[in-house]
Amino acid sequence: MRQIIALGGGSFSMEPDNPLLDLYILKQAGKEKPKICFIPTASGDADNYIARFYDFFNQQHCYPSHLSLFKPPTRDLESFILEKDIIYVGGGNTKNLLALWREWGLEHILRKAWNQGIILAGVSAGSICWFEEGVTDSFGDGLEPIECLGFLKGSNCPHYDGEVDRKPAYHQLVESKKIQAGIATDDGVAIHFKELEISKVVSSRPNAKAYNVTFEKKLIETEIPTEFLGSK
């Protein structure tokens, strides 16, 4: 079964004291100690980001590793990826992530991994990348649409409640048809896709939500039922 877990924000990098989303991701592998690989390309393989990944996942029941494209662990990236249970893509610059992945052929390897049942997950840029399009600040000034890998249909806007410009920018882009309709996610929300359909939406924050954003003569924002993973 093909699975993607797309996080609007949060996780070990933004909420180090709130492990709910990361524990949810680990649980989906259905293994006692899954192999989880962090891909921090969008951050330029920042050392402190990689360190935070290990700080958290070394304490969990899993085998953590990471893939740096600046210091590759092996020439055979396909074998390295395909032995994992979960691929976890970090945030940062989506445009640079896509450019480097295409240069290294990683987009084809990740599609193969997805088709073989390896869980693909990611936060922010690591969420946007799986959709056909996303809202990004990768170009410097303001928020713009970007074409992505297209594993999932439509567009994605992370940090919907976390950055003041995100919601109005996404609304304007959808309304003007500069970007497809799609899904917006607050910080602390994960959308779990099984095959190409939403299986579940979960959150690490009580009031965090996800929304379908469409345009039919007017902009329509529809809340998607979200399950809070913490104590009520």
Residue spans of alpha helices (H) in 36-93: 47-57, 77-82
Query: Does the annotation count 65 as an active-site position?
Result: no
175 with 217: CB under 8 angstroms?
no
In 10 A of CB 168, how many CB atoms?
Answer: 10
Secondary structure E strands in 95-187? 119-123, 131-136, 144-147, 152-157, 182-185
Catalytic entry in 66, 138, 155, 159: 159
Sheet (strand 86-89) strand order: 63-66, 35-39, 86-89, 119-123, 3-7, 189-194, 197-203, 227-228
Query: Does the annotation count 159 as an active-site position?
Result: yes
Catalytic entry in 11, 124, 127, 138: 124
Residues with a catalytic annotation lie at: 124, 159
